Amino acid sequence: MRDNYMPELRKDPIIGRWVIISTERGKRPSDFGRTEKRISPKVCPFCPGNESATPKEIIAYRPDGSEPNTPGWTLRVVSNKYPALIIEGDLTREPMGIYDRMNGIGAHEVIIESPSHDLDLPDLPVKEVRNVLWAYRERCLDLQRDHRFKYILLFKNHGKAAGASVEHTHSQLIATPIIPKRVAEELLGARKYHDYKERCIFCDIIRQEISDQDRIVSESESFIAFEPYASRFPFETWLMPKAHISNYIETDIEMYEEMAAILKDVLMRLKIGLANPSYNYVIHTAPVGEEYREFYHWHIEIIPKLTRVAGFEWGTGFYINPTRPEDAAQFLRELIISREKISV
Protein backbone atom coordinates (compact mmCIF):
# COMPACT_ATOMS: atom_id res chain seq x y z
CA MET A 1 0.00 0.00 0.00
CA ARG A 2 1.22 3.49 -0.79
CA ASP A 3 2.40 5.59 2.15
CA ASN A 4 -0.17 8.01 3.48
CA TYR A 5 -2.81 6.48 1.27
CA MET A 6 -6.24 7.51 2.49
CA PRO A 7 -9.53 6.51 0.87
CA GLU A 8 -12.20 9.16 0.87
CA LEU A 9 -15.89 9.23 1.75
CA ARG A 10 -17.92 11.69 -0.30
CA LYS A 11 -21.53 12.55 0.32
CA ASP A 12 -24.04 12.97 -2.47
CA PRO A 13 -25.65 16.29 -1.54
CA ILE A 14 -29.00 15.45 -3.14
CA ILE A 15 -29.97 12.18 -1.50
CA GLY A 16 -27.37 11.93 1.25
CA ARG A 17 -25.71 8.75 0.08
CA TRP A 18 -22.04 8.31 0.91
CA VAL A 19 -19.65 6.92 -1.67
CA ILE A 20 -16.21 5.46 -0.97
CA ILE A 21 -13.51 6.61 -3.36
CA SER A 22 -10.86 3.96 -2.85
CA THR A 23 -8.23 3.93 -5.55
CA GLU A 24 -6.04 1.41 -3.77
CA ARG A 25 -8.38 -1.33 -4.96
CA GLY A 26 -6.78 -0.87 -8.09
CA LYS A 27 -7.82 0.64 -11.30
CA ARG A 28 -6.41 3.58 -13.13
CA PRO A 29 -8.85 5.31 -15.46
CA SER A 30 -7.08 3.78 -18.46
CA ASP A 31 -7.52 0.23 -17.10
CA PHE A 32 -11.25 0.09 -17.65
CA GLY A 33 -11.30 0.09 -21.43
CA ARG A 34 -9.19 -3.04 -21.73
CA THR A 35 -10.82 -6.38 -22.13
CA GLU A 36 -10.62 -8.05 -18.82
CA LYS A 37 -8.33 -11.02 -18.73
CA ARG A 38 -8.52 -12.27 -15.24
CA ILE A 39 -5.48 -14.31 -14.43
CA SER A 40 -6.25 -16.42 -11.41
CA PRO A 41 -3.32 -16.43 -9.04
CA LYS A 42 -1.45 -19.73 -9.07
CA VAL A 43 -1.43 -19.95 -5.32
CA CYS A 44 -4.65 -19.40 -3.45
CA PRO A 45 -3.95 -16.80 -0.76
CA PHE A 46 -6.57 -18.40 1.51
CA CYS A 47 -5.23 -21.96 1.43
CA PRO A 48 -3.21 -23.40 4.33
CA GLY A 49 0.51 -22.97 3.71
CA ASN A 50 -0.01 -19.58 2.04
CA GLU A 51 -0.64 -17.60 5.22
CA SER A 52 2.08 -15.14 4.22
CA ALA A 53 -0.01 -14.10 1.19
CA THR A 54 -2.52 -12.36 3.48
CA PRO A 55 -2.04 -9.67 6.13
CA LYS A 56 -1.43 -11.12 9.61
CA GLU A 57 -4.36 -12.86 11.22
CA ILE A 58 -6.57 -10.94 13.63
CA ILE A 59 -8.10 -14.08 15.11
CA ALA A 60 -7.94 -17.74 14.13
CA TYR A 61 -9.43 -20.96 15.45
CA ARG A 62 -6.61 -23.43 15.98
CA PRO A 63 -7.86 -26.56 17.74
CA ASP A 64 -4.35 -28.06 17.54
CA GLY A 65 -2.76 -25.05 19.23
CA SER A 66 -0.59 -24.25 16.19
CA GLU A 67 1.29 -20.95 15.86
CA PRO A 68 -0.41 -17.86 14.38
CA ASN A 69 0.00 -17.40 10.61
CA THR A 70 0.92 -21.04 10.03
CA PRO A 71 -1.26 -23.99 8.92
CA GLY A 72 -3.40 -25.81 11.49
CA TRP A 73 -6.30 -23.35 11.60
CA THR A 74 -9.93 -24.16 10.91
CA LEU A 75 -10.92 -20.49 10.43
CA ARG A 76 -8.89 -17.30 10.04
CA VAL A 77 -9.82 -13.62 10.10
CA VAL A 78 -7.35 -11.26 8.40
CA SER A 79 -7.42 -7.66 7.23
CA ASN A 80 -8.38 -7.26 3.61
CA LYS A 81 -5.23 -6.86 1.54
CA TYR A 82 -6.99 -4.28 -0.64
CA PRO A 83 -9.16 -2.50 1.89
CA ALA A 84 -11.98 -0.20 0.81
CA LEU A 85 -11.49 1.73 4.05
CA ILE A 86 -8.48 1.84 6.33
CA ILE A 87 -8.23 1.54 10.06
CA GLU A 88 -5.63 4.17 10.91
CA GLY A 89 -6.36 7.87 10.91
CA ASP A 90 -8.69 10.57 12.16
CA LEU A 91 -12.27 10.91 11.30
CA THR A 92 -12.12 14.43 9.96
CA ARG A 93 -15.25 15.62 8.30
CA GLU A 94 -14.92 18.74 6.24
CA PRO A 95 -16.82 20.81 3.72
CA MET A 96 -15.53 21.24 0.18
CA GLY A 97 -17.73 24.12 -0.95
CA ILE A 98 -21.25 22.70 -0.88
CA TYR A 99 -19.89 19.16 -0.63
CA ASP A 100 -18.97 17.02 2.38
CA ARG A 101 -16.08 14.65 2.70
CA MET A 102 -14.54 12.43 5.36
CA ASN A 103 -11.40 10.37 5.58
CA GLY A 104 -12.10 6.80 4.56
CA ILE A 105 -11.68 5.34 8.02
CA GLY A 106 -13.06 1.89 8.70
CA ALA A 107 -12.19 -1.75 9.11
CA HIS A 108 -12.24 -4.20 6.25
CA GLU A 109 -11.67 -7.81 7.23
CA VAL A 110 -11.91 -11.18 5.54
CA ILE A 111 -13.24 -14.26 7.31
CA ILE A 112 -11.67 -17.34 5.68
CA GLU A 113 -14.37 -19.84 6.55
CA SER A 114 -12.53 -23.12 6.04
CA PRO A 115 -9.08 -24.44 5.15
CA SER A 116 -10.65 -26.52 2.32
CA HIS A 117 -10.31 -24.87 -1.05
CA ASP A 118 -13.10 -26.81 -2.71
CA LEU A 119 -15.94 -26.56 -0.22
CA ASP A 120 -18.58 -23.83 -0.14
CA LEU A 121 -20.11 -22.60 3.08
CA PRO A 122 -23.17 -24.93 2.89
CA ASP A 123 -20.88 -27.92 2.27
CA LEU A 124 -19.25 -27.44 5.68
CA PRO A 125 -20.49 -29.39 8.71
CA VAL A 126 -22.93 -27.46 10.91
CA LYS A 127 -20.26 -27.07 13.60
CA GLU A 128 -17.95 -25.30 11.15
CA VAL A 129 -20.73 -23.05 9.86
CA ARG A 130 -21.41 -22.26 13.50
CA ASN A 131 -17.76 -21.23 13.92
CA VAL A 132 -18.13 -18.80 11.01
CA LEU A 133 -21.20 -17.24 12.65
CA TRP A 134 -19.35 -17.19 15.95
CA ALA A 135 -16.36 -15.43 14.38
CA TYR A 136 -18.77 -12.76 13.07
CA ARG A 137 -19.90 -12.20 16.63
CA GLU A 138 -16.37 -12.03 18.01
CA ARG A 139 -15.28 -9.47 15.43
CA CYS A 140 -18.38 -7.32 16.03
CA LEU A 141 -17.80 -7.37 19.78
CA ASP A 142 -14.24 -6.23 19.27
CA LEU A 143 -14.89 -3.58 16.62
CA GLN A 144 -17.84 -1.97 18.34
CA ARG A 145 -15.47 -0.82 21.06
CA ASP A 146 -13.92 1.54 18.50
CA HIS A 147 -16.08 4.62 18.82
CA ARG A 148 -15.25 5.86 15.35
CA PHE A 149 -17.45 3.13 13.89
CA LYS A 150 -21.21 3.51 13.69
CA TYR A 151 -22.00 0.41 11.70
CA ILE A 152 -20.57 -3.05 11.07
CA LEU A 153 -21.75 -4.86 7.95
CA LEU A 154 -21.06 -8.56 7.53
CA PHE A 155 -21.51 -9.88 4.03
CA LYS A 156 -20.57 -12.65 1.66
CA ASN A 157 -19.97 -12.59 -2.06
CA HIS A 158 -20.09 -16.05 -3.62
CA GLY A 159 -19.20 -16.48 -7.27
CA LYS A 160 -17.88 -14.05 -9.83
CA ALA A 161 -21.23 -12.50 -10.67
CA ALA A 162 -21.58 -11.61 -7.00
CA GLY A 163 -18.21 -9.90 -6.92
CA ALA A 164 -16.02 -12.57 -5.35
CA SER A 165 -12.44 -12.24 -6.56
CA VAL A 166 -11.12 -15.27 -4.67
CA GLU A 167 -13.09 -18.50 -4.98
CA HIS A 168 -11.94 -20.02 -1.66
CA THR A 169 -14.94 -19.69 0.64
CA HIS A 170 -14.85 -16.48 2.67
CA SER A 171 -16.98 -13.65 3.91
CA GLN A 172 -16.15 -10.06 4.76
CA LEU A 173 -16.82 -7.35 7.26
CA ILE A 174 -16.67 -3.61 6.81
CA ALA A 175 -17.04 -1.23 9.75
CA THR A 176 -18.03 2.27 8.67
CA PRO A 177 -18.06 5.65 10.41
CA ILE A 178 -21.59 6.35 9.17
CA ILE A 179 -24.81 4.34 9.09
CA PRO A 180 -25.24 3.17 5.48
CA LYS A 181 -28.23 4.61 3.65
CA ARG A 182 -29.93 1.30 2.97
CA VAL A 183 -29.77 0.43 6.66
CA ALA A 184 -30.89 3.94 7.63
CA GLU A 185 -33.99 3.52 5.45
CA GLU A 186 -34.87 0.26 7.19
CA LEU A 187 -34.29 1.85 10.59
CA LEU A 188 -36.54 4.75 9.71
CA GLY A 189 -39.32 2.53 8.38
CA ALA A 190 -39.12 0.25 11.41
CA ARG A 191 -39.08 3.23 13.79
CA LYS A 192 -42.16 4.80 12.19
CA TYR A 193 -44.07 1.52 12.32
CA HIS A 194 -43.12 1.10 15.93
CA ASP A 195 -44.17 4.67 16.80
CA TYR A 196 -47.58 3.99 15.31
CA LYS A 197 -48.27 0.38 16.30
CA GLU A 198 -45.91 -0.07 19.25
CA ARG A 199 -44.79 -3.32 17.73
CA CYS A 200 -41.74 -4.44 15.79
CA ILE A 201 -42.46 -4.61 12.05
CA PHE A 202 -40.18 -7.63 11.67
CA CYS A 203 -41.95 -9.52 14.47
CA ASP A 204 -45.24 -8.71 12.74
CA ILE A 205 -43.88 -9.94 9.40
CA ILE A 206 -42.80 -13.21 11.04
CA ARG A 207 -46.30 -13.68 12.50
CA GLN A 208 -47.84 -13.02 9.09
CA GLU A 209 -45.46 -15.41 7.29
CA ILE A 210 -46.12 -18.18 9.79
CA SER A 211 -49.82 -17.70 9.33
CA ASP A 212 -49.67 -17.46 5.49
CA GLN A 213 -47.11 -20.31 5.17
CA ASP A 214 -46.71 -19.97 1.41
CA ARG A 215 -43.51 -17.92 1.39
CA ILE A 216 -41.64 -20.01 3.96
CA VAL A 217 -38.51 -21.79 2.73
CA SER A 218 -37.27 -23.32 5.96
CA GLU A 219 -38.17 -23.07 9.61
CA SER A 220 -36.68 -24.27 12.87
CA GLU A 221 -37.56 -23.72 16.49
CA SER A 222 -35.96 -20.29 16.76
CA PHE A 223 -35.43 -19.20 13.13
CA ILE A 224 -37.44 -18.66 9.98
CA ALA A 225 -36.34 -18.28 6.35
CA PHE A 226 -38.80 -16.96 3.79
CA GLU A 227 -39.13 -15.10 0.52
CA PRO A 228 -40.19 -11.57 1.40
CA TYR A 229 -43.64 -10.52 0.20
CA ALA A 230 -42.16 -7.77 -1.99
CA SER A 231 -39.01 -9.65 -3.06
CA ARG A 232 -36.87 -7.51 -5.36
CA PHE A 233 -35.12 -10.48 -6.93
CA PRO A 234 -36.04 -14.09 -7.77
CA PHE A 235 -35.26 -16.31 -4.78
CA GLU A 236 -34.41 -13.39 -2.51
CA THR A 237 -34.52 -15.04 0.92
CA TRP A 238 -34.53 -13.52 4.39
CA LEU A 239 -33.50 -15.43 7.47
CA MET A 240 -34.23 -14.11 10.95
CA PRO A 241 -34.62 -15.15 14.56
CA LYS A 242 -38.26 -15.54 15.60
CA ALA A 243 -37.60 -13.85 18.92
CA HIS A 244 -37.13 -10.10 18.89
CA ILE A 245 -33.36 -9.48 18.83
CA SER A 246 -32.15 -6.18 17.43
CA ASN A 247 -28.42 -6.76 17.32
CA TYR A 248 -26.77 -9.86 15.94
CA ILE A 249 -24.38 -10.06 18.88
CA GLU A 250 -27.26 -10.22 21.34
CA THR A 251 -28.37 -13.55 19.91
CA ASP A 252 -28.32 -16.16 22.66
CA ILE A 253 -25.09 -18.14 22.42
CA GLU A 254 -27.11 -21.36 22.52
CA MET A 255 -28.77 -20.35 19.23
CA TYR A 256 -25.68 -20.23 17.02
CA GLU A 257 -25.72 -23.92 16.20
CA GLU A 258 -29.37 -23.78 15.17
CA MET A 259 -28.66 -20.63 13.15
CA ALA A 260 -25.84 -22.48 11.40
CA ALA A 261 -28.12 -25.41 10.60
CA ILE A 262 -30.82 -23.27 8.99
CA LEU A 263 -28.34 -21.09 7.09
CA LYS A 264 -26.66 -24.23 5.75
CA ASP A 265 -30.05 -25.65 4.81
CA VAL A 266 -31.14 -22.52 2.93
CA LEU A 267 -27.81 -22.09 1.12
CA MET A 268 -27.83 -25.78 0.20
CA ARG A 269 -31.34 -25.43 -1.26
CA LEU A 270 -30.20 -22.49 -3.37
CA LYS A 271 -27.06 -24.34 -4.41
CA ILE A 272 -28.86 -27.51 -5.46
CA GLY A 273 -32.06 -25.95 -6.76
CA LEU A 274 -30.40 -23.23 -8.81
CA ALA A 275 -27.16 -24.99 -9.83
CA ASN A 276 -24.75 -23.17 -7.55
CA PRO A 277 -25.67 -19.60 -8.36
CA SER A 278 -23.55 -16.62 -7.47
CA TYR A 279 -25.10 -14.90 -4.48
CA ASN A 280 -24.60 -12.23 -1.88
CA TYR A 281 -25.78 -12.21 1.65
CA VAL A 282 -25.70 -9.35 4.09
CA ILE A 283 -26.44 -9.33 7.79
CA HIS A 284 -28.58 -6.34 8.70
CA THR A 285 -28.17 -5.70 12.38
CA ALA A 286 -28.88 -2.68 14.56
CA PRO A 287 -26.15 -0.06 14.63
CA VAL A 288 -23.98 0.15 17.71
CA GLY A 289 -26.07 1.67 20.54
CA GLU A 290 -29.16 1.16 22.66
CA GLU A 291 -31.68 3.31 20.85
CA TYR A 292 -32.61 0.77 18.19
CA ARG A 293 -33.37 -2.05 20.57
CA GLU A 294 -37.16 -1.84 20.57
CA PHE A 295 -37.95 -1.52 16.90
CA TYR A 296 -35.15 -3.14 14.86
CA HIS A 297 -34.73 -6.87 14.36
CA TRP A 298 -31.61 -8.37 12.84
CA HIS A 299 -31.84 -10.52 9.74
CA ILE A 300 -29.82 -11.97 6.89
CA GLU A 301 -30.78 -11.03 3.33
CA ILE A 302 -29.66 -13.62 0.77
CA ILE A 303 -29.75 -12.51 -2.86
CA PRO A 304 -28.89 -14.99 -5.64
CA LYS A 305 -27.54 -13.24 -8.73
CA LEU A 306 -29.97 -14.58 -11.32
CA THR A 307 -30.96 -11.34 -13.02
CA ARG A 308 -29.04 -8.18 -13.76
CA VAL A 309 -30.00 -4.82 -12.41
CA ALA A 310 -30.68 -2.80 -15.57
CA GLY A 311 -31.67 0.69 -16.67
CA PHE A 312 -35.17 0.78 -15.26
CA GLU A 313 -33.99 -0.37 -11.84
CA TRP A 314 -31.10 2.09 -11.77
CA GLY A 315 -33.34 4.88 -12.94
CA THR A 316 -36.19 4.31 -10.55
CA GLY A 317 -35.31 2.12 -7.59
CA PHE A 318 -38.20 -0.10 -8.75
CA TYR A 319 -37.27 -3.71 -9.28
CA ILE A 320 -38.86 -6.06 -11.77
CA ASN A 321 -38.93 -9.56 -10.34
CA PRO A 322 -39.84 -12.28 -12.86
CA THR A 323 -40.57 -14.92 -10.18
CA ARG A 324 -43.44 -14.86 -7.69
CA PRO A 325 -41.97 -15.18 -4.19
CA GLU A 326 -44.61 -17.83 -3.40
CA ASP A 327 -43.43 -19.96 -6.36
CA ALA A 328 -39.77 -19.52 -5.41
CA ALA A 329 -40.54 -20.54 -1.82
CA GLN A 330 -42.47 -23.61 -2.88
CA PHE A 331 -39.66 -24.68 -5.20
CA LEU A 332 -37.01 -24.34 -2.50
CA ARG A 333 -39.17 -25.83 0.24
CA GLU A 334 -40.06 -28.91 -1.76
CA LEU A 335 -36.54 -29.71 -2.93
CA ILE A 336 -35.45 -33.07 -1.69
CA ILE A 337 -32.00 -32.80 -0.20
CA SER A 338 -30.24 -36.00 0.56
CA ARG A 339 -29.53 -36.59 4.21
CA GLU A 340 -25.76 -36.60 3.87
CA LYS A 341 -25.90 -33.10 2.40
CA ILE A 342 -27.64 -31.60 5.39
CA SER A 343 -26.65 -33.82 8.27
CA VAL A 344 -23.50 -33.35 10.36
Binding site for Zn ion (CB under 5 A): 44, 46-47, 117, 168, 200, 202-203, 244, 284, 297
CB of 99 to Zn ion, least distance (A): 29
Length of the chain (residues): 344
Count of Cβ atoms closer than 10 Å to residue 269 Cβ: 24
Nearer to Zn ion, 22 or 247 (CB): 247
* Residue 168 is among the residues annotated as catalytic for this protein: no
CB of 204 to Zn ion, least distance (A): 8
Nearer to Zn ion, 139 or 168 (CB): 168
CB of 288 to Zn ion, least distance (A): 17
Phi and psi at residue 282, in whole multiples of 5°?
Answer: -130, 145
Nearer to Zn ion, 85 or 200 (CB): 200
Report, in this order, helix, strand and coil percent for the chain, each rounded to 5: 30, 20, 45
Could you say which of 170, 284, 297, 299 is catalytic? 170
Rounded Cα–Cα distance for residues 167 and 308 (Å): 21
CB of 66 to Zn ion, least distance (A): 18
Per the CB < 8 A criterion, the answer to whether 6 and 21 are in contact is: no
CA of residue 77 relative to chain centroid, distance: 15
b/e sequence 123-152, b meaning 16+ C-beta within 10 Å: bbebebbbbbbbbbbebbeebbeeebbbbb
Nearer to Zn ion, 8 or 155 (CB): 155
Phi and psi at residue 103, in whole multiples of 5°?
Answer: -65, 145
Nearer to Zn ion, 202 or 233 (CB): 202
CB of 84 to Zn ion, least distance (A): 20
b/e sequence 173-185, b meaning 16+ C-beta within 10 Å: bbbbbbbbeebee
The catalytic site residues sit at: 170
